[in-house]
Structure 1
Amino acid sequence: MDKTEKNQIVDSDIAQLLLKHRKARNWTVTELAQRSGVSQAMISKIERGVSSPSATILSRLANAMNITLSKLFAELEEHQNSLVRFAHQQQHWTDEQSGIIRWTLSPAGASPELIKVEIPALGQLTIPASAIEHLCGQTLWMLSGNLDFRVNHQTHHLQAGDCLALTFAGECQMTNPDSEQSCTYIVAFSQKNR
């Protein structure tokens, strides 16, 4: 597994995983593009490791293959423990385009899954409805900073300690309005039974 620092997921890891999952389904790049809404050229660049996917693009690709990013990233774990994921084992991935950092907190296979997200000052993250339609819902708990969470044309202004429960699929746009401080939150979610 390629690592630039301890537990850092890098582009070559993602490239190998996406290629493996696409081939396991006997899909062409064209088929994955049609299912995900991501261009063939971008998928090809990601699979060759020459382009770094944004969080939005990675979410679309994972959703097209009916897996969460947490489950995708769990495959990179060298020593899986189904009961405990110690702090020093928590993997993280940085979206190089936006600076957003995503940590996998829960052990592989846990339900609900827990992730921690940090959005830099004035950063923004958009998650298409298609990327969360296979979830039972999700609950977001703010740890620090401020977050404007927009879903279905309604914006919720959240700060540390606030908790938002999203029980339906809709495009979500998260914006950190602070020009100096990052914001951090935890999300809990479970996949629908298929």
Structure 2
Amino acid sequence: MRDTLDSRLAARVAELRVARGWSLDDLAGRTGVSRSTLSRLERAEISPTASLLGRLCAAYGWTMSRLLAEVEAGAEPPALVRAADQRVWRDEASGFTRRSVSPPHAGLRGELIEGVLEPGADIAYDAPPVAGMEQHVWVLDGRLEFTDDGTPHTLDAGDCLRLRLLGSTRLRNPGTGPVRYAIFVALP
């Protein structure tokens, strides 16, 4: 297996499951993802979607940034992160690109993320990775439909939504061009 982000992510997801003493069936029950899909993910036969990573992170009580940071090389993140060094992850299936502007760190409770959704992109998360996590969603370009636990919000460029995540969320780009937004995440 080549040492790619997907293969390191697959190995880390398997390690987390085994460390908790969960079988694939246990993880499937906690995430609603089929055992076969989880098995293929752990063998790096498939690339995870944003939705799948969201379900796994909710089961483990982690943010997606923490999971992605764990599979990146390097230990202590630098205080200054140059644009060229910021981690970018793309979910081709959903048309979602995620840039970790300020990488997470165990000693800090906040991080900044940039997201880009292509036209028509629609991502749903069944539960927050950490209940009560605070987010500030600031739309930089375009229009974003953000649904928080059944409550819809339409955000245009310059708008900022602040909320605590307790239930499901959905991000959708209803426009004809990409929507670019920043999310500040603060752990409870």
TM-score normalised by the chain length of structure 1: 0.86
Match of 2:167 in 1: 170
Contact 2:125 2:169 in 1 (8 A): yes
1:66 equivalent in alignment to 2:64: no
Q: 1:13-65: CA deviations, max 9, x gaps?
A: 32122112112222211111122221111100111111222111111111211
Q: Aligned partners of 1:75 and 1:154: how far apart in 2? A: 33
Q: CA deviation at 1:96?
A: 2.1
**Cα distance between partner residues in 2 of 1:161 and 1:149:** 14
- Deviation beyond 3 Å, 4+ runs, structure 1: none
1:96 aligns with 2:92: yes
Counterparts in 2 of 1:82 and 1:113: CA distance versus 1, 3 Å: same
1:132 deviates by 4.0
C-alpha deviations, 1:127-186, integer Å up to 9, x for none?
21x23443432110111111111224332211111100112412212111112x100111
CA change 1:133–1:72 in 2 (3 A) is: closer
Distance 2:100 2:132 in 1: 17
TM-superposed CA distance for 1:82, in Å, is: 5.0
Provide structure 2 residue ranges, at least 5 long, that are not aligned to the other structure. Answer: none
Which of these residues, 73, 80, 87, is aligned with residue 84 of structure 1? 80
TM-score (norm 2): 0.88
Residue in structure 2 matching 1:113, options 111, 118, 130: 111
Matched, 1:190 2:162: no
1:188 Cα offset (Å): 1.2
Cα distance change of structure 1 residues 13 and 135 upon mapping to structure 2, 3 Å threshold: farther
Count of residues paired in the alignment: 184
Secondary structure, in 3 states, of the residue corresponding to 2:102?
Answer: coil
1:156 maps to: 153
Q: Percent identity?
A: 33
